[in-house]
Structures are given as structure tokens and as C-alpha cells.
């Protein structure tokens, strides 16, 4: 009778770890024989099977799956019972593995595992309560761990592999064995063993241990993953998205191997001049202090961190500090010659430093088509290793649930129309009028003729208003101007949308890299035109002289923090081709001195000569005199500092800065029933001034650079904003 009932009705299987008190309750326990019959045995039950009538199957499945039986309590409630739910007949119930949002991992008792090994299926029949049909559906909670997700959309069967992440094999899923409890239990045990070994190995010297899962990425992109972590209407949460397009052979471009996504830092450090605000979101604590050098705050915090080095993790940024350093952070280094009191007007009141500490990071491997979902556990914040493991596992599962959320937000579709007419207001509003900028160029030339400086970079800031939000502009900028260092960074008070071609500084395993990029010409339409442009660029004495000056500045910056005799020019005046332009590039390297850190290399490089001039300090003194407003993030740096001390900071060029302060001025009427918010975009650009510079040419260069950035706003408006 039991066999026929199971064959006829759709069944929901609940694997429930038992307690010793079950013996006293007299539950009927059966044991299936080889003939398919059942007989009672004396052992207490280890597994329960709930048999549900067909009419209630869908409702029962929905409520049970959404209730997350991981938290279900039995009896007097003194013990949490770990459970998992699997659909024996997913087609009949209407909940296949691909549709179901709540697939839990199996945690069997030792008795349960032994029963599986011996091929004995012990169970108890429990009929669904009569009143269940009237029970309201439980609201969907955070998704359960996805390691045991039953079936893939393609009809394949998924199995868990610690080394390769999730493997998918062809074939239909077995109806009676949707979840392999034994494999999941072994995987969970392997997680525990790996974590405890890392914690023991790092005892006394390594207090940061990573936990991670590796999943296939064919259903996910970095842009979509970011939107899974940060809703579209949330423009305040600190978060980041880093992507890259690298130069390939013979001038081709390739997508960079790694892309990184992170949101909701556990800690933030925000500095405005000498006032520092530290927000510890774990403890819910905010502290403020006035210090001489705010950059020492995150540095001192890192001195107590000792991350475990895991070979299986990708060779990229996997967790640590992410944010930006404004141009004005140089005033923490040159306190006497460049004090804040002598800086130009601060009309935006943006932070000088904003850093978020990210212990949850997604790393996309664009070559192997997989995603590393990583959570770092700080052992010092937990009383025992077991507590650290359970908390880390819970947080990792929560991060996985966001990525695997069945209600994945949709990205707005858009048509790529690069030759559309310009939307919005033109770039006719600047911090300086055309005549004011030309006059500043003439004053700079007088200082050059007097021998005070050899070169100076003077910039001006343009304003553009738009109804395209910053993330839409970033999506467009990836198309208009792909570059090696593309970034979308939400910070306190502003959003940065960047497509930088150049690094400010890079420190990797003790090696410092500085790559001056100066000398630019547009790409030709054919390979032959490209070659002609290259020859013309390398023959331009003015461009080459500027580049050599910047190489000397780079050697000086690297030499300040390198071991004696280790500084060298690895590449000199090579041509790098990008989507629209070509640059002259050189590479300067050195070995970081033993008693110094990557923070020292950053302090020595800020800001690079590409955006200041030569000699650097004197040029910056003149910039304070000739420019009318503070630069803010422009010509500073943005990027990350890993837990292990490695650093990659890109130069904040080709960067659009959006203020998160609301603007109520309207430009156009839109078809959207809900009024779109108007954003103010700041686009700053500069030109290198030398002895024979023409003021008209330098003004035109600034306008052209800003217009190239504004092209991304044009595309975002034509693609995503429905204008009448």
C-alpha cells in the first residue's frame, strides 16, 4: 500500500536529523526490504517522508520551500533541526529545480550517513496536517545555500566539486533523487576541514581566512551581478565594479581576464582635509577624529591583518580597501608647500579620501567563464573557530543567494546609436571661461620662460546635466571608450564613472610599477593609416620631449621607495593602441624597500607628473594659483588595496563625477510617467603647457577631451531615456 501511494501521489521528502527522545515517542519506523516491502524495526527514525495529496502538492511545496526548513523547530523547541526539501515529482507539483528558489543543503547525522552507505533507507510516514490548506503562504526569505540546487535549466544534473566549483552533466534529473545528500554532506565536511586547517595554519599569524564558492558565469555578467547586489534605486550604498579591456597583439583589444564586483563594505574611512570619519558597520559604531595624515588610518588598520594565502583563489583583487584618493591628498604629503589653506575654492565639498573595506567580493574569470564568490572571515571577531566558520558560512550563503536570486533584476535594454544628435545642454558651462583659461596658459608660459618649471598641466571643469543615471552612463562608456581601467564607484557624496587608460601606481609582491602615458594621436581608419600616425607621433619633438620628462618623474617617484639600484626603465616609448587613440607609453619599475609598504609607494606617486607637471611640487603650487576650483577626484586615483598589501590604483582621468545631491532644474519633458531624476555630471580635462604652447590649441584640447566623455552621456540618453 505504501509503495502504490508513493507512486501515485507527488511526494515531498524532508530529511530530518533525529534526536534520542524520538525513541521515547514511539514513532513507527520501517525498513524497506529488497522485495520492496516494509517491516518495522526497533531503531528510531533518521529520515521522515511527508506524503501529500496531489491537490495540496503545489501549495505544500511552495510554503515549505519558502519557509526555509533550516530554521524549523520540532518538539519543545530546544534544538534546531537541520532539514532540506526536495521534490520527488517536480513536474507534478510545478516546482522544478530551476524554478524553485529554496533549495537547501543536506546536513545528515552520522547515523544518517551510515544508512546511505549501507543502502538502507529508514523513514517515517507523516501526512500533511488537515489545516494546512488554509495556512497562508510564508513570505519569501533569503535563498538557502545553492550548493545542492537540484536541476539546471538545461535539464542537466548538478554535482558539487570543491576544485572546479559546480559541474553540470547532461541528462534528465532523477525524480526520486533530486538532492544527493551524501555528496552534499561530504562537500560540507570538506568546507569545514579546509576552513579549520587554514585557521590552525594561521594561528598567531593569519587571522583572515577566505571562504568561497566557484560557480559558472554563463548566466551572469559583471554588470548584472552588480545590479543583483545594489538595487537600481540605491545610489548611496558604497560599492564598486571594476572591468578592463587590454591591448592585444598587433593593436587588437581583448577583454581583461578579471572583473571585480563588491558592495556593502563592513567599514568605511572618509576624510575631508584633516577630519576623519570611521564607520564600523559590523559594530554599528561611528567615530570622528582630527589627524595630521588621514591616509595613516587605513594603513594602521591593515597592520593587524594577516590573510591566509590560498592558491585556488584568482590572481586578482579578492578583498580589501576600495575607493578613491582625490588630487588634494598630496597635501598630506607636502604639508608646508601645499597646505589646504592655499588650495583653490572647494565648491562641491567632496571627500578627499573615501575607502570601503570589502570582505564580500565577486571575481569574474572571463577566460574560464566562472565566478568566485568570496567572503573573508576575521577570526579575531569570533570567540571560537566554530563560531567563525558558522558565521562565515551563513554570510557566504547569503552572498550566493543574492547572485542566484530567482527574481534577478532586469537591465534596461538599449540601442547603440553612436551618431545620434546630442541630447541635453552642450558643454558651454565651465569653471573658467575660454578667455580666463587662455590667460592662465599665458601666465604658465611666463613661468616656463623664467625657468620656474618645464611643463604644467592646467585643467578646467565642464558641467553637463542629464536624465541618464550614472550606471546607465557607465554602461554607455564601456561601449564608447573601453579602456584598461574601467570603474563604477559609488562613494559618500558622489559617484565616479571612469574609463582610465593609465595607472597611478601598482605594487605587486614587492614590485612597483609606474607607466607614464603621454603623447596622443587619433587612430587611423586602416592599418596603413595607423602606421603613419605612429611614425608621426614618434617624430613629434614636443610630444616626445614631454614624455621623456614624465619618464624621469616616474623614475624619481619609484626611486623614493625602492631598493638602491633596483629602478629601471623596462619599456621606453612604445606605442599602445586603444579603441580611438594611440599613446606613447613607457614602464618604470623598482623593488619596494623592505621596511616600506604599498602605501608609501602611493604617497610617493600622488599625483603623477602626467596631471601636474615638472618639477612636480612647483607645478602644483602654480596650479593652486591658476585654477579657480579644487580638482576633487579628477587626477587623483581610484582602485583597491588587497588584504595582503598589493595595490592597484588607476589614474582618475576620463572620469565623470556625479554629485549625489539632488537637482530639481528640469530640461525636457519625458514620456515616463514617473519623473526621472536630473543628474549633474562634472567632466574635467586638462592640457600640458610647454614653452611653445598655443592658448587656443590648449583650450580646444580641453574641450575635445570633455566632449569625448560627454559622448557616453549622449549614448546613455539615446539608449535608456525615452525623450519626446
Catalytic residue among 258, 474, 488, 634: 634
Cα 616–Cα 618–Cα 620 angle in degrees, nearest 5: 70
In whole angstroms, give the CA distance from residue 213 to residue 158: 14
Residue 202 above 80 pLDDT?
no
Please name the residues in contact with 155: beta carbons below 8 A apart, sequence gap of 6 or more. Answer: 170, 171, 172, 173
pLDDT in tens, 347-404: 999 999 999 999 999 999 999 999 999 999 998 888 888 999 999 999 999 999 998 8
Which of the four pLDDT bands, split at 50, 70 and 90, describes residue 319? Answer: very high
Residue 193 above 90 pLDDT?
no
pLDDT in tens, 523-541: 888 888 888 988 988 988 8
Give me the pLDDT at residue 11, please: 42
Task: Cell numbers for 284, please give them.
Answer: 554599528
H or E segment and range at residue 447? helix 434-449
Q: What is the mean pLDDT of residues 10-18?
A: 42
Catalytic residue among 654, 655, 686, 711: 654
Whether 668 is a known active-site residue: answer no
Is residue 13 a part of any domain in this protein? yes
Is residue 55 a part of any domain in this protein? yes
* Domain that residue 41 falls in: 2-140
Q: What is the mean pLDDT of residues 23-50?
A: 43
Whether 382 is a known active-site residue: answer no
Give me the pLDDT at residue 232, please: 86
Q: How many CB atoms lie within 10 A of CB 504?
A: 30
In whole angstroms, give the CA distance from residue 273 to residue 294: 8
Whether residue 277 is preceded by a cis peptide bond, meaning omega within 30 degrees of 0, is no
Residue 121 above 50 pLDDT?
no
Catalytic residue among 555, 583, 603, 682: 583
Is residue 223 a part of any domain in this protein? no
Is residue 68 a part of any domain in this protein? yes
In whole angstroms, give the CA distance from residue 516 to residue 503: 8
Q: What is the mean pLDDT of residues 226-232?
A: 92
Give me the pLDDT at residue 579, please: 67
How far CA 637 is from CA of 258, 446, 649, in Å, comes to 20, 30, 6
- The DSSP result for 647-671, as a single string, is EEEEE--SEEEEE-S-B------BS
Do residues 211 and 195 lie in contact, with contact meaning Cβ atoms separated by under 8 Å? yes
Q: Please tell me the least confidently modeled range out of 295-299, 300-304, 599-603, 633-637.
A: 300-304
Q: What is the mean pLDDT of residues 161-179?
A: 36
Q: What is the mean pLDDT of residues 263-288?
A: 96
Q: What is the mean pLDDT of residues 54-83?
A: 40
Residue 672 above 60 pLDDT?
no
How far CA 55 is from CA of 51, 83, 94, 175, in Å, comes to 12, 24, 12, 19
Residue 12 above 60 pLDDT?
no
Whether 634 is a known active-site residue: answer yes
Q: What is the mean pLDDT of residues 494-519?
A: 92
Residue 116 above 80 pLDDT?
no
pLDDT in tens, 283-304: 999 999 999 999 999 999 988 8
Give me the pLDDT at residue 643, please: 94
Residue 123 above 60 pLDDT?
no
Is residue 77 a part of any domain in this protein? yes
Task: Cell numbers for 61, please give them.
Answer: 511545496
Give me the pLDDT at residue 568, please: 94
Is residue 154 a part of any domain in this protein? no
Which of the four pLDDT bands, split at 50, 70 and 90, describes residue 146? Answer: very low
Is residue 545 a part of any domain in this protein? no
Do residues 434 and 699 lie in contact, with contact meaning Cβ atoms separated by under 8 Å? yes
Give me the pLDDT at residue 428, please: 61
Give me the pLDDT at residue 274, please: 96
Catalytic residue among 83, 101, 318, 610: 610
Give me the pLDDT at residue 632, please: 95
Is residue 21 a part of any domain in this protein? yes
Counting every residue written for the chain, the total comes to: 724
Give me the pLDDT at residue 675, please: 66
Residue 670 above 80 pLDDT?
no
Catalytic residue among 97, 414, 636, 688: 688
Better-scored residue on pLDDT, 311 or 462? 462
Phi, psi of 32 (to 5 degrees): -80, 130
Give me the pLDDT at residue 380, please: 86
Per-residue H/E/C for 373-400? EEEEEEHHHCCCHHHHHHHHHHHHHHHH
Better-scored residue on pLDDT, 603 or 25? 603
Phi, psi of 527 (to 5 degrees): -65, -40
- Number of domains composing the chain: 1
Q: What is the mean pLDDT of residues 120-133?
A: 33
Which of the four pLDDT bands, split at 50, 70 and 90, describes residue 486? Answer: very high
Which of the four pLDDT bands, split at 50, 70 and 90, describes residue 164? Answer: very low
In whole angstroms, give the CA distance from residue 542 to residue 519: 9
Amino acid at each position: 500500500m505504501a509503495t502504490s501511494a508513493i507512486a501515485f501521489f507527488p511526494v515531498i521528502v524532508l530529511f530530518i536529523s533525529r534526536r534520542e527522545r524520538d525513541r521515547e515517542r514511539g514513532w513507527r519506523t520501517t525498513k524497506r526490504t529488497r522485495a520492496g516491502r516494509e517491516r518495522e524495526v526497533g531503531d528510531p527514525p533518521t529520515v521522515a517522508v511527508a506524503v501529500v495529496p496531489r491537490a495540496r502538492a503545489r501549495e505544500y511545496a511552495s510554503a515549505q520551500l519558502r519557509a526555509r526548513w533550516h530554521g524549523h523547530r520540532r518538539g519543545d523547541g530546544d534544538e534546531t533541526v537541520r532539514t532540506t526539501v526536495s521534490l520527488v515529482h517536480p513536474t507534478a507539483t510545478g516546482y522544478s529545480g530551476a524554478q524553485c528558489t529554496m533549495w537547501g543543503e543536506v546536513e545528515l547525522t552520522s547515523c544518517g550517513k551510515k544508512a546511505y552507505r549501507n543502502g538502507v533507507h529508514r523513514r517515517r510516514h507523516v501526512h500533511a496536517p488537515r489545516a494546512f490548506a488554509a495556512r497562508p503562504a510564508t513570505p519569501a526569505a533569503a535563498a538557502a545555500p545553492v550548493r545542492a540546487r537540484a536541476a539546471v535549466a538545461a535539464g542537466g544534473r548538478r554535482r558539487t566539486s570543491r576544485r572546479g566549483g559546480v559541474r553540470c552533466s547532461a541528462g534528465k534529473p532523477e525524480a526520486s533523487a533530486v538532492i544527493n545528500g551524501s555528496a552534499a554532506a561530504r562537500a560540507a565536511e570538506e568546507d569545514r576541514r579546509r576552513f579549520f586547517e587554514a585557521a590552525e595554519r594561521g594561528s598567531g599569524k593569519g587571522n583572515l581566512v577566505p571562504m568561497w564558492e566557484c560557480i559558472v558565469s554563463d548566466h551572469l555578467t559583471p554588470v548584472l551581478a552588480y545590479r543583483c547586489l545594489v538595487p537600481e534605486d540605491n545610489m548611496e550604498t558604497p560599492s564598486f565594479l571594476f572591468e578592463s579591456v587590454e591591448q592585444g597583439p598587433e593593436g587588437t583589444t581583448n577583454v581583461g581576464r578579471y572583473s571585480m564586483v563588491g558592495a556593502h563594505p563592513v567599514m568605511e574611512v572618509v576624510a575631508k582635509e584633516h577630519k576623519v570619519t570611521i564607520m564600523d558597520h559590523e559594530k554599528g559604531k561611528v567615530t570622528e577624529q582630527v589627524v595630521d595624515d588621514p591616509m595613516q588610518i587605513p594603513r594602521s588598520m591593515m597592520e593587524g591583518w594577516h590573510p591566509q594565502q590560498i592558491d585556488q583563489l584568482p590572481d586578482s583583487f579578492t578583498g580589501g580597501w576600495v575607493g578613491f584618493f582625490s588630487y588634494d591628498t598630496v597635501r598630506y604629503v607636502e604639508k608646508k608647500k601645499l597646505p589646504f589653506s592655499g588650495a583653490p575654492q572647494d565648491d562641491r565639498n567632496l571627500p578627499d579620501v573615501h575607502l570601503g573595506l570589502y570582505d564580500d567580493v565577486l571575481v569574474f574569470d572571463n577566460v574560464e567563464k566562472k565566478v568566485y564568490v568570496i567572503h573573508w572571515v576575521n577570526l579575531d571577531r569570533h570567540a571560537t573557530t566554530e563560531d567563525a566558520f558558522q558565521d562565515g558560512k551563513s554570510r557566504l550563503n547569503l552572498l550566493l543567494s543574492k547572485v542566484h536570486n530567482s527574481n534577478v533584476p532586469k537591465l534596461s535594454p538599449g540601442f547603440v546609436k553612436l551618431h545620434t544628435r546630442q541630447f541635453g545642454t552642450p558643454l558651454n558651462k565651465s569653471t573658467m571661461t575660454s578667455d580666463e583659461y587662455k590667460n592662465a596658459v599665458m601666465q604658465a608660459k611666463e613661468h616656463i620662460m623664467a625657468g620656474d618649471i618645464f611643463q604644467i598641466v592646467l585643467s578646467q571643469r565642464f558641467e553637463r546635466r542629464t536624465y541618464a543615471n550614472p550606471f546607465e552612463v557607465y554602461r554607455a562608456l564601456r561601449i564608447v571608450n573601453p579602456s584598461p581601467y574601467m570603474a563604477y564607484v559609488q562613494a559618500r557624496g558622489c559617484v565616479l564613472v571612469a574609463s582610465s587608460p593609465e595607472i597611478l601606481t601598482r605594487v605587486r609582491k614587492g614590485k612597483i610599477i609606474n607607466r607614464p602615458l603621454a603623447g596622443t594621436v587619433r587612430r587611423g581608419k586602416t592599418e596603413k593609416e595607423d602606421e603613419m600616425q605612429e611614425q608621426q607621433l614618434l617624430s613629434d619633438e614636443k610630444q616626445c620631449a614631454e614624455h621623456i620628462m614624465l619618464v624621469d618623474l616616474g623614475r624619481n617617484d619609484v626611486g623614493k621607495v625602492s631598493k638602491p639600484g633596483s629602478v629601471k626603465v623596462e619599456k621606453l616609448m612604445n606605442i599602445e593602441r586603444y579603441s580611438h587613440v594611440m599613446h606613447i607609453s613607457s614602464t618604470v619599475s623598482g623593488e619596494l624597500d623592505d621596511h616600506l609598504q604599498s602605501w608609501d609607494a602611493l604617497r610617493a606617486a600622488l599625483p603623477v607628473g602626467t596631471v601636474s607637471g615638472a618639477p612636480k611640487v612647483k607645478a602644483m603650487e602654480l596650479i593652486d594659483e591658476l585654477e579657480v576650483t579644487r580638482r576633487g577626484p579628477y587626477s587623483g586615483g581610484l582602485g583597491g588595496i588587497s588584504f595582503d598589501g598589493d595595490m592597484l590604483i588607476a589614474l582618475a582621468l576620463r572620469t565623470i563625477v556625479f554629485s549625489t545631491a539632488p537637482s530639481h532644474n528640469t530640461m525636457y519633458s519625458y514620456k515616463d510617467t514617473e519623473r526621472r531624476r536630473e543628474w549633474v555630471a562634472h567632466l574635467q580635462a586638462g592640457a600640458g603647457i610647454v614653452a611653445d604652447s598655443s592658448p587656443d590649441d590648449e583650450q580646444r584640447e580641453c574641450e575635445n577631451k570633455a566632449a569625448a566623455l560627454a559622448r557616453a552621456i549622449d549614448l546613455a540618453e539615446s539608449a535608456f531615456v525615452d525623450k519626446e
